[in-house]
A = this chain, B = another copy of it.
Amino acid sequence: MLAALDLYVTALEPWPRVPFLGRALHAVALQLLRSADATLAQEVHTGDGPRPFSVCGPFVGDDERLAPRLVPATSYRLRISALTAPTAAALARALEPERRPVELALDEVIVRLERVEATTDTYEGLRDRYFPTGPVRRTIELTFLTPTSFHSGGKDVPLPLPELVFGSLLERWNAYAPFTLSPGVRDFARECVGIAHYDLKAWVVNVAGGRHAGFVGRCGYRVLRYDPYWTRALCLLADFAFYSGVGIKTGMGMGACRRSDLDRPVPDRAGEQA
């Protein structure tokens, strides 16, 4: 079970310069989990593996850019995504209309929770899009919505190398899905996937005591040596990114990501200088 819960909130007072709120969103997610399933919240909080949820926001309404400021009477969106059935169930219960909190604390500021919208999928559903058949693309574009970074070779790598992006998605898929993908996906991404185009912006964030060089923007990946199985696996993982996020600290607001080549036809020569 996969669920992305969009919490639409309004600010009660202006906040002219919003810092990166990853830690505050993490606290909101844990608070919601705790209100519905204290045991699960405790497990998640004390476990040392990746969190079975990701968070991001605040975005201005349905826009995809982080809000630089909060203005009263404007709608902002926080997203909490669940990667396991128990987490999804607990969050859904915590956000039932009669049960959910009226207000949420985002660091210094209190926001009012106006409504919640859910998008859901299942691991089986994602798989069935591409296996054994289904439309695949050879050029896949990902849009990185919040600062994204990877930990590789003992350092932060703030660049969306194919093997880091798809390797991270693969790791998360295999941690939670009821059926795993071959670890060869990472090698295929390294050896047979090229970067076709990008539009990236570096963005350094301070979150939970750590300072990370990250980036936001778009990156197009092209399968250079076509292979049906691996290309299907990449498409599947690109869709999964909507829920899982990618890279480090996705439970702390980093690495929110979604597939964007399906928004429009991607020409074969995308990225060529106009």
Contacts and interface: CB of A to CB of B under 8 A. Distances in A.
Contacts of A269: 204
Contacts of A196: 213
Contacts of A224: 155
Interface residues of A, number: 30
Given A161-B159, A194-B213, A213-B194, A204 B273 contact: yes
A199 to B, nearest CB: 7
B273 A195 contact: no
Q: Is the interface of A mostly helix, strand, loop or mixed?
A: strand
A195 B271 contact: no
Interface in A175-193: 190-192
A153 interface: yes
Contact of A199 (B202, B204, B205): B202
A205 B197 CA distance: 12
20 contacts: A153-B190, A155-B192, A155-B194, A156-B195, A157-B195, A158-B195, A158-B198, A159-B159, A159-B161, A161-B161, A195-B202, A196-B213, A197-B202, A197-B204, A198-B202, A198-B215, A199-B201, A199-B202, A200-B200, A203-B273
Interface of A: 153-159, 161, 190-192, 194-205, 213, 215, 224, 269, 271-273
